[in-house]
């Protein structure tokens, strides 16, 4: 029983440390849908994927 309690206390202390270090940039709202969702990484990947193809076609 003591090991379970000690494990919980250590886990809770670690969780509080991470939450406090996150500051105001920490979002605990869960999944975002609709206009609230921002997906910058796929847009950057798509533009990066088309850039070499356009460079190759202009080199001909």
Give 3-30 pLDDT, tens digit per residue: 999 999 999 999 999 888 887 777 777 7
Q: Which of 47, 50, 46 is nearest to 58 (CA)?
A: 50
pLDDT in tens, 31-52: 888 776 666 655 555 565 565 5
pTM of the model: 0.42
pLDDT for 4 equals 97
Q: For residues 2-39, b (16+ Cβ closer than 10 Å) or e, as one string?
A: eeeeeeeeeeeeeeeeeeeeeeeeeeeeeeeeeeeeee
């Amino acid at each position: 029983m003591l090991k379970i309690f000690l494990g919980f206390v250590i886990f809770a202390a670690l969780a509080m440390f991470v939450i406090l270090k996150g500051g105001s940039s920490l979002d605990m709202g869960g999944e975002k849908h609709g206009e609230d969702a921002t997906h910058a990484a796929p847009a950057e990947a798509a533009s990066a994927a088309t850039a070499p193809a356009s460079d190759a076609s202009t080199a001909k």
